[in-house]
Amino acid sequence: MGRKLRRYVEQTLSPETAAQDYPIKTSEQEMTRLRMQSDLFRADTESMLDRIGVGLEWRCLDLCCGVGGITDLLSRRVGTEGSVIGADVDSAKLTVAGDWARANGLGNVRFEQADAFATGFPEASFDLVHSRFALSVIPDGTGILDHMLTLVRPGGIVFVEEANVQTMECAPTDPVWDRALALLVDTFANIGADVYLGPKLYGMFHTIGLTELRVRPCLHALRAGDPMMMHLPGTVEGMRDAILSLGTVTAAALDQIVERLREHLSRPDTLTISYSMVQVVGRVPERGLSRASMGRVGGLV
Ligand SMILES: C[S@@+](CC[C@H](N)C(=O)[O-])C[C@H]1O[C@@H](n2cnc3c(N)ncnc32)[C@H](O)[C@@H]1O
């Protein structure tokens, strides 16, 4: 069965079925990595939310929010009369997100389990719909953009922050860095995800007919001791089953790559440059978008 047809069938099933397509396993380590990733890019996201002008009483949705995503940043801006929904397919992450929101007093945030391709939320019911590090790592993830467009009210905002692994570098370089990165890229390509997606979103937003486009790439230097320095070996471990299913590396060889990469990244003289997070923002015209332009991205609407 083709991926798009499978996706269509899954939409009639359950979020649990959709979750099986996602290649990074849910674990304590992965949930910690998501939290560290949020910390790394926090100031970048805050700055774009300020430029957008997210304010009191806005109704916001953070799609594929993982263990909380940017719901805390939205929560503070929309105030008690506003509302924030965080949605994800993974109920384990949502449980952690709920505890975290309660511990941080985020009273205007609620979390719901939903497939990002077909959430079931009412059409045109949000002032802002956001998604981060999801469209680039989920099979046929740009189809999610089609659904996001249906959820934003006329005049509302679509805000996507997506990865581009093109910027990832390690100095001094080492064959295990190149090997691990190639395995990650090949595995995502194999499942139909595009980890170079970030900059391509600008053209998509333009073609769709979104207005007032803003775009900004964000990336960071990392060195020994930085919490995100181990993100490549950590992600490779989280994708272990998906990588092994490619059949290009044995389990023993993969373990050795991860171990040697961790050693290399622990050296005090090793510097890495992160994947970039490309922020793209657009406004839905007041007259709305035509159905034809909304279906252009993933071809599912
Ligand atoms: C890399 S994480 C990003 C999490 C969050 N946006 C952040 O920036 O911290 C991708 C998230 O997408 C979720 N996901 C995968 N497939 C999904 C789908 N079909 N619908 C909704 N969420 C999905 C995963 O469970 C995971 O939490």
Give a three-class secondary structure readout of 3-51.
HHHHHHHHHCCCHHHHHCCCCCCCCHHHHHHHHHHHHHHHHHHHHHHHH
Helix axes 71-78, 28-52, angle to 10 degrees: 40
pLDDT of residue 296: 55
- Percentages of the chain per state (helix, strand, coil), in multiples of 5: 45, 20, 35
pLDDT of residue 59: 98
How far apart CA 68 and CA 237 sit, in angstroms, is 22
Ligand 1 atom closest to 68 (CA): 9
Residues 27-30: contacts with CB under 8 Å, at least 24 apart: 27/238, 29/234, 29/237, 29/238, 30/234, 30/238
State in Å: Cα 188 to ligand 1 middle. Answer: 14
Provide residues with CB under 6 Å of ligand 1: 18, 22, 34, 37-38, 64-66, 69, 88-90, 93, 115-117, 132-134, 137-138
pLDDT of residue 17: 65
Ligand 1 pocket test: pick from 30, 64, 111, 300 the residue with the most ligand atoms within 8 Å of its Cβ: 64
pLDDT of residue 139: 96
How far apart CA 86 and CA 90 sit, in angstroms, is 11
Are the beta carbons of 204 and 142 closer than 8 angstroms? yes
pLDDT of residue 20: 79
pLDDT of residue 295: 59
pLDDT of residue 68: 98
- Cα separation of the two ends of the chain: 19
For the chain, domains (ranges, CATH) are 3-13+22-286 (3.40.50.150)
Nearest-CA residue for ligand 1 atom 14 is 64
How far apart CA 30 and CA 235 sit, in angstroms, is 8
Could you give the strand order of the β-sheet that contains 126-132, starting from the edge strand earlier in sequence? 109-113, 83-88, 59-63, 126-132, 152-164, 276-283, 211-218
Ligand 1 atom closest to 18 (CA): 19
pLDDT of residue 294: 65
Pairing verdict, β 126-132 and 152-164 = parallel
pLDDT of residue 5: 47
- Distant-in-sequence, close-in-space partners of 103: CB < 8 Å, separation ≥ 6: none
State in Å: Cα 116 to ligand 1 middle. Answer: 9
Per-residue pLDDT tens, the chain, 301 aa: give them: 455 545 544 554 566 666 778 999 999 999 999 999 999 999 999 999 999 999 999 999 999 999 999 999 999 999 999 999 999 999 999 999 999 999 999 999 999 999 999 999 999 999 999 999 999 999 999 999 999 999 999 999 999 999 999 999 999 999 999 999 999 999 999 999 999 999 999 999 999 999 999 999 999 999 999 999 999 999 999 999 999 999 999 999 999 999 999 999 999 999 999 999 999 999 999 998 876 666 555 543 2
